[in-house]
Amino acid sequence: MTQNHIRTIRSFVKREGRLTHGQQLALDTQWPEFGVDFSPQLINIAKLFKRSAETVLEIGFGNGDSLWQMAQAHPEKNYFGIEVHRPGAGHLLHLIEESGCKNIRISNHDAVDVLEQQMPDSCIDRVQLFFPDPWHKRKHIKRRIVQEKFVDQVARILKPEGIFHLATDWEHYAQHMLSTLNNSHLFINLSDDKTFVPKPDERPTTKFEKRGQKLGHGVWDLLFQKKAI
């Protein structure tokens, strides 16, 4: 008898290029201290960072420049970054090595798996999702990471009154995010008119974003707070 296998819909496609020598070296030498291997066991955040502090989780940090800037600017906070592409993880580890930054930890795995299997309830103060793949073709919308189930997972790992900050430069995706979050009974929209907010100061402007702005692209920021229930 044949067994049917359900293929998981992924919100990403691995199209990463070759690792540079510096990225590979950083992965080899810095991963033991700053990397977090995937396993279906819950992470102890305080033990991971060797302290109790406000903890920020960024999903899909790209090349890590903005996450590194935030960690440098706020050494009193913990920063946990998830990025599935190894060159990005290697680049961030290289920045960590050069700067001596100690308040970042990195996962190089599918964020959905990490949230579902490694993150305890109410362990994160702030979740950031900046410029995720928009999957702009209609047939690919189901691949977008911002879906009801994902939002529920974010709410589960956030502490009561924790913040979920999203940003995108695709207006259609921005409307999709807004509708999905506004329809959640777990979050409160922090904008005055229940739509978008001005770019918060704590989100650095990336090179990618600056390039888009020169081309006339818009950017939409969303700020939601987990209900204190």
Q: Across the strands, what pairs with 112?
A: none
- What span, in angstroms and rounded, lies between the C-alpha atoms of 77 and 129? 18
- What span, in angstroms and rounded, lies between the C-alpha atoms of 90 and 20? 9
133 catalytic per annotation:
yes
For residue 172, which phi and psi values (nearest 5 degrees)? -65, -40
Which listed residue (110, 113, 133, 221) is catalytic? 133
Indicate the residue type of 61. Answer: F
Whether the CB-CB separation of 151 and 177 falls below 8 Å is answered with: no
Q: Where are the alpha helices (DSSP H) in 139-170?
A: 148-157
Could you tell me how far CA 225 lies from the centroid of its own chain?
Answer: 16
- What span, in angstroms and rounded, lies between the C-alpha atoms of 111 and 139? 22
- Biggest CA–CA distance in the chain, Å, is 59
Q: Across the strands, what pairs with 81?
A: 58, 106
- Catalytic annotation, residues: 133
